[in-house]
Structure formats: structure tokens, C-alpha cells
Amino acid sequence: DQQVKQNSPSLSVQEGRISILNCDYTNSMFDYFLWYKKYPAEGPTFLISISSIKDKNEDGRFTVFLNKSAKHLSLHIVPSQPGDSAVYFCAANSGGGADGLTFGKGTHLIIQP
Amino acid sequence: DAGVIQSPRHEVTEMGQEVTLRCKPISGHNSLFWYRQTMMRGLELLIYFNNNVPIDDSGMPEDRFSAKMPNASFSTLKIQPSEPRDSAVYFCASRTRTGRGGYTFGSGTRLTVV
């Protein structure tokens, strides 16, 4: 049973527009959420995170929104750039961070020129 | 900082052979994680260590899989005997115990069992 779900395997967005990647989770114990970006033949790299005590965190072009009641989070990229083309993974954990991360299956973002 | 180092980058082996994947975490990181990525299951946690001690191995798929961390700078994931369904990309990650983020991944080992 997938505890972290990314229901869109792929997403195509025009350069300069907003990219919105979505993630849902089922485990109420999750209290910390992260987004990772992955290029082919490389490991995932950390992008942005949010604690469950917040509903928004912003870092440059990247903003993550958390809706705890809906168990939903989203990653907004504005404006989208060609270098943003990658697979984006949503991840979550609990237990004060001592445990490993539970990942979604990823969304392949394609930025079209 | 060289990051998390995994070896080999690619491994092709025949069914039934023993396979050993290696990981060197970032110096000073005291938690180490092994993940496996497949198309069907995505990234799944296999096992993790805190201070070289295995904490949770519930993700290890079968007894054919074993992992060790003999010291703070080295870990291995062994598959014996290997099977074609073990073909996947295996990632190692490390982090410090403090804070909630800080997971750094290696570049992975692509394992193909024929």
C-alpha cells in the first residue's frame, strides 16, 4: 500500500509558465515532507522541505504548500526553466526524522521551449 | 566533500551469483540508508543504520539480501544468490541524526541480473 502517492507519472509545461506537482499521503504520522529532484543516471538531490507545523515554504522559484486536512502537498515552480526537466519525488517521514524516507513513485516534468 | 560514494556504478551478473554493492557515506553522517528503485515500486527503503547499528530491515525483500556496516565509513549490501527480479538501481544515502532533512544520496548502482 503506497503511503505517498504521486498520481501524475508525467507533466509537460511550457518554459516560463508555472509547474505544479502534486502529492498525497495516507499516513497521519508523517510530519515532515521533502521534494527531491532526479536527473538520469544520478541520485536524487534535495530540493525543498516543509514541516507539518507550516503550510508553506518558499525557496527562490520553488514553493511547497501543505494541506494537512487533505493530506496533500504540492510543489510550485515559477517560472519553469529547461533545466527543471527531471523526475520529482515527494517524500515523507515521521518519528522525529530518525527513520528513512517514504517516497512517491515520482513525476517526470518536461519543460517545453 | 566528495558526497556519498557508491561502487560499482554498473553491475551485470548471472543469476545465482553473489553481488556486493558498496557505499561510503559522507564523513560525519551517522545514519545510512539503502534504497532500491524499480519501475513498479519506485524508491523503496530496504534497511537503515544509525551509528553503524541496523535499526530497521523490514524493507529487505528476502533472506537473500543482507547489509552490513562494519564502521562509520563503509557499508555493503549483498545479494546471494541473485535473481533477475533483483535488477534495479540501488541507492545509498546518508545524513546526520540532527535536523529533519539532510539526506544525501549517492549516484546509485545499476544492477542487471541475467
Angstrom distance (rounded) from CA A9 to CA B110: 22
Q: State phi, psi for A33 to the nearest 5 degrees.
A: -130, 145
Give the cell for residue A93: 517521514
Strands (E), A18-85: 19-25, 32-38, 45-51, 56-59, 62-67, 72-77
Residue contact A100–B91, C-beta within 8 A: no
User: What is the per-residue pLDDT across A2-38, written as a single tens digit (0 to 9) for each?
Assistant: 899 999 999 999 999 999 999 999 999 999 999 999 9
Judged by a CB distance cut-off of 8 A, whether residue A57 touches chain B is no
> Mean pLDDT over residues B76-101, rounded?
91
Best mutation target, B103, B104, B109, to test chain A (most A CBs within 10 A)? B103
CA A93 to chain centre: 13
Q: What is the mean pLDDT of residues A53-67?
A: 97
- Collapsing DSSP to helix, strand or coil, B93 comes out as strand
Q: Is the pLDDT of residue A96 over 70?
A: no
